[in-house]
C-alpha cells in the first residue's frame, strides 16, 4: 500500500478516535449539536445509548485501521491491507447511508466518506 494511502488512513483513524471521544463523552454538549443534531433537552437514555454505541463503532474502526497500518509494515502485509481497505470501504458506505438518512448531516457524511474514498482510489491507482 502506497504512502499516500497509509497517511490518509492514519489521519482518518485519528479523526475516528476524536469522534469517539465526542460521541461518548460530549454528545450532550450544545456546541456539538450542529454535528450530531442532538439538542441538550433531547438526551434521554435511548439517545445516550445510541451516541455511546456509535462512538464505540468509530473506535473499533479506528483500532482496525491502526492495526492494519501496523501489519502493513510487518510480515502480515496482506492482512494489513485487508483491514485498511475494509475499514475504508465500510466508511464510504456509512457516509452514503448517513447522507441518505439525514441530509442535514451532509458535512459529516463527506468527512466520513471522502478521506477513505481517497485511500481506496490511491490504493487502486498506485498500489
Distance CA 77, CA 28 (A): 41
DSSP state of 76: -
Domain assignments of the chain as residue spans, ordered by start: 3-126
* 68 has pLDDT over 80: yes
Distance CA 7, CA 73 (A): 13
Distance CA 53, CA 82 (A): 24
Q: 74-127: per-residue pLDDT in tens?
A: 999 999 999 999 999 999 999 999 999 999 989 889 999 999 999 999 999 987
DSSP state of 103: G
Cell triple for residue 55? 462512538
Q: pTM for the complete prediction?
A: 0.89
pLDDT given for residue 34 in this prediction: 72
Q: 1-60: per-residue pLDDT in tens?
A: 999 999 999 999 999 999 999 989 987 787 777 777 777 777 777 778 888 899 999 999
Amino acid at each position: 500500500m502506497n504512502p499516500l494511502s497509509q497517511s490518509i488512513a492514519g489521519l482518518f483513524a485519528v479523526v475516528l478516535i476524536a469522534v469517539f471521544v465526542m460521541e461518548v463523552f460530549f454528545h450532550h454538549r450544545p456546541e456539538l449539536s450542529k454535528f450530531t443534531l442532538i439538542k441538550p433537552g433531547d438526551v434521554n437514555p435511548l439517545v445516550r445509548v445510541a451516541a455511546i454505541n456509535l462512538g464505540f463503532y468509530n473506535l473499533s474502526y479506528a483500532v482496525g485501521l491502526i492495526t492494519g497500518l501496523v501489519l502493513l509494515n510487518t510480515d502480515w502485509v496482506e492482512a494489513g491491507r485487508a483491514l485498511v481497505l475494509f475499514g475504508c470501504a465500510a466508511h464510504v458506505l456509512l457516509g452514503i447511508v448517513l447522507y441518505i438518512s439525514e441530509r442535514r448531516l451532509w458535512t459529516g457524511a463527506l468527512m466520513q466518506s471522502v478521506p477513505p474514498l481517497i485511500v481506496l482510489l490511491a490504493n487502486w491507482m498506485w498500489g
